Amino acid sequence: MASTFETVAGIISSASDIPLERITPDSHVMKDLEVDSLSFLDITFEIDQKFGIQLPVEEWLAAVNEGKANGEDYFVLRNLCMQIDGLRAPVAV
């Protein structure tokens, strides 16, 4: 079974024609990989479908724009994968 990072890197690579070897855990989706906002929406849709989640991208962007969070918290792949894993985790009852 592929890791979250491997799956997300594969989605980014296929959606944006970025060579897989160029994508690292420390890559910032927009700054380093130069993924534009429209492509990022396609990528997040594929991530949502693949993992059965819904990334709260609007909330993340609002938090960054309001100075409540750092963009790296959500858009550096290592951190994005942690966010995905957190959304996938079963909810304790």
Indicate the pLDDT class of residue 37, thresholds 50, 70 and 90.
confident
Q: What is the mean pLDDT of residues 3-31?
A: 95
pTM of the model: 0.89
CATH topology of domain 4-88: 1.10.1200
Structure tokens at 54: 């819904």
Q: Would you give the DSSP letter of residue 22?
A: G
Q: What is the pLDDT of residue 93?
A: 55
Phi, psi at 17, each rounded to 5°: 60, 30
pLDDT, tens digit, for every residue of 43-72? 999 999 999 999 999 999 899 999 999 999
Instruction: Give the Cα-Cα-Cα angle 45, 51, 55 (nearest 5 degrees).
Output: 50
pLDDT beyond 60 at 30? yes
How far is the C-alpha of 3 from the C-alpha of 78, rounded, in Å? 12
What are the CB-based long-range contacts (under 8 Å, 24+) for 48-56? 50/7, 50/11, 51/4, 51/7, 51/84, 51/87, 51/88, 52/88, 53/84, 53/87, 53/88, 54/87, 55/83, 55/84, 55/87
Q: What is the mean pLDDT of residues 75-89?
A: 93
- Helix, coil or strand: residue 76: strand
